[in-house]
Amino acid sequence: MKAFHATHALLPTGWARDVTITADASGSIIKAIPGTAAPGGAECLRGHVIPGVPNIHSHAFQRAMAGAAERRSPAGRDSFWTWRETMYRFVARLTPDDAEAVAAQLHAECLEHGFTHLAEFHYLHHQPDGTPYADRAEMSLRHLAAARQTGIGLTLLPSLYRHGGIFGAEPDPGQRPFLNDLDGFQAILDRSAAAMRDMPRTRLGIAPHSLRAVTPAMLAALADHPGPIHIHAAEQVREVEECLAATGARPVEWLLHNAPIDERWCLIHCTHLTEDESIGLARSGAVAGLCPTTEASLGDGIFDLPAYSAAGGHIAIGTDSHVGTAPREELRQLETSQRLRSLGRSVATSTTSPHPGRALLDAVLKGGARASGVPLGALAPGARCDLVELDNTHPTLTAHEGDALLDAWIFSGQSNPVRTTIAAAEVLVREGRHRDRDAIAARFRKAMSRLVA
């Protein structure tokens, strides 16, 4: 067993002092008892301890593109669609060694900022010309190798990607590294599952990429998967228009009427929903996976959080293209975009939860656990022992406590006040530094030197 003692900890019942958290050999919490002295041998956490935050949407290779896809294109009117062409050119240079180095760098950064679990929506499967590697799951295995090195929890979501438009359009040549038929996809799933058997912090799910990339028959063939199931939906106006033209329905509307959407599912982005779609998605039990910094970067639009929350919808956050790699950045962007949209402040609050930091954190911990398919997001028996210690002596947090400290963490400053990050009762970050930061960064620099040459 391992024991941790937190001076302040956010329990399901609220903030508590002097909390002893005990974990079993598997890294799951056995008990979390407030008002106790630190037991002998306990790791003492003097700051404010919150549950580790799940990151429910990642394309890890895009960490190497962050900041390098901003230049105005010759067309002059840039969008998600012009960015996508840049991405296609980039993946043509990426090797398996590069992919592993970039994923490890991303994982370390996420851990240093308070993410303890990552859902990798993995669609870069093959060589640039579309030829599978000798091991068809080579690129999946590289994500697992990176997770093994860094210690982060991982929900691996191999993505089925076959077509280039709704439904069944021919793919773009730049999409060749992504493409599989159902049999090839199943081979990746089987190989990944075998490799994950000795990795208890991992979970296998699936990701039919989008209605642009799979047919209804393919979606039906995957629908019995026990979950998690993630899919991109309604990210772009053009996507909505193409779906309407092809099917007579909007993407989320089509999914709600034609797929068994339930609590296994996470619909990524959902930027453009009608009121009826918001209500229907909320009632389904699925999670809306929001990626606010990426959605802002790509010019996607602004998710209607008040309407969806009023319908009782579940949300989670992801970093997607990794222009941001911190929970606080995603939560800040989520709230402040709502303020711009509504011309008001403190949007993600209620009379019972007046602090937006706490309200948002509670929401994404609950929704993130559901979307990850892993018992996360609570300092309570049965949950994985994922802890994040916020340094209350940091200038950003000084003199704040409890929910006010969460507001300060999310809405104040740019530096990182995370002191310690623990996943499955293993300390991975101390004094703000991942235990293997230097070695991981050296491999990343080597990969980047080749990729940008």
CA 72 to chain centre: 28
Q: 186: part of which helix (H) or strand (E)?
A: helix 182-195
Q: What is the pLDDT of residue 453?
A: 77
Q: What is the pLDDT of residue 278?
A: 98
pLDDT exceeds cutoff 90 at 37: yes
Domain ranges of the chain: 2-50+381-448, 52-372
Report whether 15 contacts 32 (CB < 8 A). Answer: no
On the CB side of 14, CA atoms within 13 Å amount to: 5
Q: What is the pLDDT of residue 437?
A: 98
User: Does domain 52-372 bear CATH number 3.20.20.140?
Assistant: yes
Q: Of 7 and 89, which is predicted with more confidence?
A: 7
Q: Of 67 and 453, which is predicted with more confidence?
A: 67
Output phi, psi for 354, to 5 deg: -80, -10
Q: pTM score, two decimals?
A: 0.97
C-beta neighbour count of 12 within 10 angstroms:
13
pLDDT exceeds cutoff 80 at 213: yes
Q: What is the pLDDT of residue 217?
A: 97
State the fold for domain 2-50+381-448: Urease, subunit C; domain 1 (2.30.40)
| CA angle 55–199–202, rounded 5-degree value | 25
Mean pLDDT, to the nearest integer, of 40-62?
97
Please, which pLDDT band fits residue 442 given cuts at 50, 70 and 90? very high
Mark whether 272 is an active-site residue: no
Coil/strand/helix, residue 300: coil
pLDDT (tens digit, 9 = 90+) per residue, 396-424? Answer: 999 999 999 999 999 998 999 999 999 99
Q: Hey, which bits of 306-438 come out as E strands?
A: 314-317, 387-390, 418-423, 426-430, 433-434
pLDDT (tens digit, 9 = 90+) per residue, 263-301? Answer: 999 999 999 999 999 999 999 999 999 999 999 999 999
Q: Hey, which bits of 161-258 come out as E strands?
A: 202-204, 207-208, 229-233
Report whether 411 contacts 59 (CB < 8 A). Answer: no
Mark whether 183 is an active-site residue: no
269, 272, 394, 434: which is the annotated catalytic residue?
A: 269
Q: What is the pLDDT of residue 83?
A: 85
300, 320, 386, 391: which is the annotated catalytic residue?
A: 320
pLDDT exceeds cutoff 90 at 77: no
Q: Which amino acid is at 336?
A: T
Q: How far apart are CA 40 and CA 51, in angstroms?
A: 23
Cα dihedral value 293, 297, 299, 302, nearest 10: 10
pLDDT exceeds cutoff 80 at 76: no
pLDDT exceeds cutoff 90 at 22: yes
pLDDT exceeds cutoff 90 at 168: no
pLDDT (tens digit, 9 = 90+) per residue, 376-400? Answer: 999 999 999 999 999 999 999 999 9
Q: What is the pLDDT of residue 73?
A: 81
